[in-house]
Amino acid sequence: MLALFKPTGAPGLELAERPDPVVGDGDVKIRVLRTGICGTDLHIEAWDAWASDTIAPPIIPGHEFYGEVVEVGSQVCDVQVGARVSGEGHIVCGNCRNCRAGRRQMCIRTQGLGVNRDGAFAEYVVIPESNVWVHQEPIDPDLGAIFDPFGNAVHTALSFPLVGEDVLITGAGPIGLMAAAVARHVGARFVVVTDVSEPRLALARSMGADLTINVTESRIADAQGSLGMREGFDVGFEMSGHPSALPEMITNLNHGGRVAMLGLPTTSIDVDWAKVVTHMLTIKGIYGREMYETWVAMSAMLHTSTWLSDAIGSVITDRFPADRWQEGFDAARAGTGGKVVLDWSTISDSRES
């Protein structure tokens, strides 16, 4: 098969022939039709400090995907050949305390698809049956490819009750944008999104944000005045990882405010912990998706809301054939658009013809 391959610990990837993945008794082999490009993939391609500390080449990266099941292992019970599927990229041990208690997203031995084992930037990928998400209703392949990051957005947005609440989202990257749409869908009163990219702020407005703030020009406190808010935001989603975002969010929260924090900081953050205590704030870390309640929720919401489905689909702003992967990576790295999707069916179709 053809795959995007990291042969050694150095910058770059190469589109190369690799052996087809082997199907174990409990595994499912999937013909990859679409993949999304994630920030993790950009780190691996650039071979930065995080990648050099985390990744052990040779490896095929990629963990956001949609495809068709072409083979199942002898012990697979519920997934059928021909099913159209996405995949949960966190592969858990099943035996630690959290796994046994049904908290698989907190497994202490999690392996990441495309990080700790070969991933989905390839014509075929193999994952355990328990990691396969079968789409029971037809779904656009591009949208199916971004169920992983959409799940991050849903996990973040549904961490706290939102009906009638005022929501502040710092960071209008693809996951922040999707979280804005979910907050609007489930009944938030005001949704305010901050960023430094005008194109991304425009996307946020199209996805239901009541107000967007370019933090290089305006302050969050100004937004409260323009919206007639008197007591600060009730819920915050910190999606940027920028060291100034969380302190600024805390400053603009109501007493008893709650923060779901998905953005990964690369430096330490100076937090006013006295304010966290005296204002009785809650800060919750978010990593990945709840397995598999988040998947149930996002499928149900998409299948019952045409508006939400269209909004989430609009996050995909760039599409490239897989053999033009470098253009896709460049578009993703530019940081001004939404999700970038690679079409792997063009490679498979050309090889079959």
Give per-residue pLDDT as tens, 89-110.
Answer: 999 999 999 999 999 999 999 9
CA end-to-end distance (rounded Å), the chain: 15
Task: Indicate if 40 belongs to the active site.
Answer: yes
CA separation for the pair 9, 43 (Å, rounded): 12
Are residues 236 and 249 located together in one domain of the fold?
A: yes
Average pLDDT over residues 54-67: 97
Domain boundary among 269, 285, 301: 285
CB 41 within 8 A of CB 114: yes
The residue from 8, 35, 43, 90 that is catalytic is 43
Give per-residue pLDDT as tens, 196-211.
Answer: 999 999 999 999 999 9
Q: Report the candidate in 135, 119, 186 with the shortest Cα–Cα distance to residue 159.
A: 186
39 in any annotated domain: yes
Are residues 159 and 141 located together in one domain of the fold?
A: no
Sign of CA dihedral 301, 33, 263, 335: negative
Task: Report residue 335's pLDDT band, with 50, 70 and 90 as the boundaries.
Answer: confident
Task: Indicate if 43 belongs to the active site.
Answer: yes
307 in any annotated domain: no
pLDDT at 238 over 90: yes
- The total number of structural domains in the chain stands at 2
Domain boundary among 285, 307, 334: 285
Its domain, for residue 266, covers 151-285
CA separation for the pair 315, 263 (Å, rounded): 18
Model pTM score: 0.94
CATH of the domain at 337: 3.90.180.10
Burial 200-212 (b: 16+ CB within 10 A, else e): bbebbeebbbbbb
302 in any annotated domain: no
So what's the pLDDT on residue 351?
A: 65
Are residues 91 and 198 located together in one domain of the fold?
A: no
Average pLDDT over residues 40-60: 95
The residue from 8, 35, 40, 156 that is catalytic is 40
So what's the pLDDT on residue 352?
A: 65
